[in-house]
Amino acid sequence: MIESWRWYGPFDRIGLDEIAQTGATGIVTALHEIPYGEVWPRATIAARRDGIRKAAPGLDWNVAESLPIHERIKRGEGNLVALFANYRQSMANLAAEGIKVICYNFMPLLDWTRTDLQSPVRRGGTCLRFSSPRMAAFEVHMLKRAGAEADYLPETLTAAAIWFQQSSEADRDALLSSIMSGLPGAYDRYDVDGLRAALTLYEGIGRAELRANYARFLQEVVPTAEELGMRLCVHPDDPPRDILGLPRIVSNAEDIGWIMGAVDSTANGLTLCSGSLGANPANDVPAIARQFAPRIHFAHLRNVTKDPDGSFEEAAHLDGDTDMVDLIAALLAEERRRNEAGRADWAIPFRPDHGHEILSDADRDTHPGYPLAGRMRGLAELRGVIRALSHPKVSWA
């Protein structure tokens, strides 16, 4: 497996020289400064790649995360010919510069969603957390979304009302800021009125309509990926449940199976994100990995601990509710199968996804979920599991 590291380019407070010291060799990044829907110029891609190589010899840009999909494509709104053409041209420009793996998502409006960016961890440090009561407080009492109450348990609504009554204006501002933080590359943030207005653009779009729009996207771009020898890999919903009344359609094995079948091609693949899928109690993440192993082109490895009310928080990489050793064994078995079949791109790039803020991380003000020490701890733990399971004297399925 190829050890990789998420880097936000010029926006990142962690330097490439520091990343090199973690032992990672792949850089997962994007041209976040380019607005959604516009072409990523080949010269700009080459400059970013060359800058990575020059700043830290031994590092290389191996995964584009994300080449974002314009919201109009997700809504199926208007004439989309130019947007599809721009996406295909960006793909061609990436491929021309040697970047052949593209991670993307099809989550409407928001990407990953958390209510707390610095929730205390038992032995020190902080983590990201999704609190169902706080999310309910936001939807019901701050956003005042019609019908939001139906999405939560009665006891969750009671806890939400208590939190809202006791919260200060600063508490509510912090909650909004946390929810808005899961927009990598989209640096415009909504206030409550702006979010309410943005949600109206999705009125009338349910699960069936979103699936139809997604199928059209795949039909438009997967043939180009095949021609270019690229691997597209969709990222699961985070959390894997409807949010703000918006449908989520990449949340479980049934969803993934539909996506893989919508355009049945190796180029149409999956980013196996153990944390996103692991937040749904019904998801057996190692089993999902084995089921879709031939279509996994990239992996985000992290762990979560879930609560009965639907809340969850980021756990240490080898702790939490997902059996990370079993999951890694599944990925290594797929690598071995590909290698034995003579496939050139048999190795699966992965990155330690998210991490606790520990030690000096609190002083760095990095992107939420992306500290240096916490992710380096995660990478070291994952590396140890991979090394152990790869040892010739170890037998595993």
Q: Which residues are catalytic?
A: 235, 273, 300, 353-354, 370
Residue type, 9: G
DSSP secondary structure letter of residue 360: G
Residue type, 274: S
316-330 b/e with 16+ CB inside 10 Å = b?
A: bbbebbbbbebbbbb
Q: What is the dihedral of CA 129, 131, 132, 136, to 10 degrees?
A: -120
Asked if 73 contacts 107 with a C-beta cutoff of 8 angstroms, the reply is no
Asked if 280 contacts 241 with a C-beta cutoff of 8 angstroms, the reply is yes
Which residue's structure tokens are 């080949």? 42
Beta strands 312-315 and 349-352 are unpaired
From the list 287, 342, 341, 352, the residue with the least C-alpha distance to 315 is: 352
193-220 b/e with 16+ CB inside 10 Å = b?
A: eebeeebeebeebeeeebbebbeebbeb
350-377 b/e with 16+ CB inside 10 Å = b?
A: bbbbbbbbbeebeeeebbbbbbbbbbbb
